[in-house]
Amino acid sequence: MSAAPLQKAAHRLTGHPWLVLTTVMVGTLLIGLDRTVVNLAMPKIMGDFGITVGTAAWIATAYIISNAIFVPVFGKLGDLFGNRVIYLWSFVGFIVVSMMAGFAWGFTSLVFFRVLQGLVGAAVYPTAMSLIAKSFAEPKARAQALGIWSSSFAISAVIGPLLGGYLVDNFNWRWVFFINLPIGILGLIMTLLFLPQDRPGERGTFDWFGAVLLSGAITSLVLVVDRGQDWGWLSSASMICYLGTLVFGYLVYRWETRHAHPIIDFKFFSNPIIVSVLAVSFISFGGMMGAMLLLPVFAQTFLHYTATESGYLFVPMALALPVFAPLGARLSSSFHPRYTVAFGMGLSALGLFLLMNLDPAMTFSDFVLPLVLFGAGLGLGMAPLTSAATTSVPLHEVGMSSGLLNLTRNIGGAFGIAIFSTILANATNANVLMVAQNSHILGSTPIILGEATQLIILKAQLLSYDTVFGYAAAAMLIGGIVALFLRTTTGSEEEIPPELLAEAAAGG
């Protein structure tokens, strides 16, 4: 008897737009955390399994490649078979695989489970984006909701180091996987209670061969971007990856343009709205991930912060993102979205510019303003960009569009990390010669020469961070200029069936 009112209440709440948003944000945070939280456990994993840094890097690389491959695949599967069912089973799979990763008995088994984690986790982003787009019929509310959801991705990248540092320092590296169980169960319960049932529609056939070809292209591209610096950008391994990217990319184009239900519809690339959104998203996420890689390295190298303490640096950014994401949605409804996005990119560029004069004497307070500006700028641009990606295509293609957007963000982030790491290494080598030529060493004993060499290298590294953040600021500024050409439309609203609009307006 007592369960009946609860069931009725849950039925009324099923499909309620803001509960749908809250539910998919839990999934987004969980998957996003898993991308970053494992990095802090690497030293402990290396010690337990007796592996080198280069070998341990495959733990992250396996996840990145698997996730990048299956994001567009699940975006298409959601369009064909329903977003709720794909989201639900991916959540179940992620919980199970996370527990298996926590019990990994060796390096090979851990890499295997990380591949599976990337696979099942890839379903969350495109299906979540599609669920939000279909739950919010009113354009302004949809833009605001998508902006809030987008900020959760960036927030997870900030919270990850904080949570990972605490778990590794106080428990065991396996807890970076076990922590997914309670969070996952919460998200699973919310999924069952609050996500609307899938509506019957055209199912079509899934393009399995296209998925294999796409996997080859993405694997080759992400692999060389992720490992190219260690291999050497002109090494034989890198060359094979370049060739694989070109060959598989060509085959994907030839096959997908002839398939009735492609995973990636190349007509999107003739849509100026989608193209401009992808370009700006690529630049902004490249800048974000590059900056988030370099700041902790600087803090631990020059400020002698612990891994957990370096994670605190990003708290101002984490607080700014969810505040300015809804503001970006409201501003884009009053002004053309291109101005909101361009202004946001400009703010982010200013934040990075202020980080050009890093100094070992800096305190936490010195990082607050630059990172607030950086986070605020990203937040302002996320809502209009994400909204444009969903409103510029018919509703039944939102999953495919969102999969393409999130693939672009993933690859942009990988490129940002690779490019900025390479610039840092090259700038350091160049600065060592410059600093050495302009230094006067008072003494010639081995001890003095040894100390002088160390000081020259440290000074060269410090100057290199100025160079990198200068390039990062310039890249974000270019992104802002590109954003001025951003086009938007609300054409997809015409594709929404009247009965679905009525349901959404009534809250499900």
Mean pLDDT of the 30-36 span = 77
Q: Can you read off the two tokens belonging to residue 173?
A: 């590296």
pLDDT of residue 157: 67
Residue 493 clears pLDDT 50, i.e. is over it: no
Neighbour tally for 171: CB within 10 Å: 12
The secondary structure of 231-291 as a DSSP string is H-TTSHHHHHHHHHHHHHHHHHHHHHTT-SS-SS-GGGGG-HHHHHHHHHHHHHHHHHHHH
pLDDT of residue 202: 54
Q: Which of 261-265, 286-290, 312-316, 391-395 has the lowest mean pLDDT?
A: 391-395
Q: pLDDT for 391-401, tens place per residue?
A: 777 766 776 77
Helix axes 364-391, 124-135, angle to 10 degrees: 70
Q: Can you read off the two tokens belonging to residue 318?
A: 């984490």
Q: pLDDT for 409-465, tens place per residue?
A: 878 877 887 788 788 878 877 777 766 666 666 666 666 656 666 666 667 777 788
Q: pLDDT for 246-272, tens place per residue?
A: 999 999 888 888 877 787 778 778 878
Residue 209 clears pLDDT 80, i.e. is over it: yes
**CA separation for the pair 65, 157 (Å, rounded):** 18
- Domain residue limits, the chain: 3-195+261-505, 207-260
Residue 9 clears pLDDT 60, i.e. is over it: no
CATH code at 3-195+261-505: 1.20.1250.20
| pLDDT band at residue 297 under the 50/70/90 scheme | confident
Q: What share of the chain has pLDDT > 90, as a percent?
A: 7
pLDDT of residue 143: 72
**CA separation for the pair 90, 96 (Å, rounded):** 10
Phi and psi torsions of 258, nearest 5°: -110, -5
| pLDDT band at residue 239 under the 50/70/90 scheme | very high
Cα dihedral value 405, 409, 411, 415, nearest 10: 150
pLDDT, greater one: 11 or 181: 181
pLDDT of residue 335: 77
Whole-angstrom CA distances from 32 to 28, 52, 182 are 6, 26, 16
Q: Buried (b) or exposed (e) across 10-37, using 16+ Cβ within 10 A? A: eeeebbbbebbbebbbbbbbbbbbbbbb
pLDDT of residue 505: 34
Residue 500 clears pLDDT 60, i.e. is over it: no
Q: pLDDT for 87-120, tens place per residue?
A: 888 889 989 999 999 999 888 899 899 989 988 8
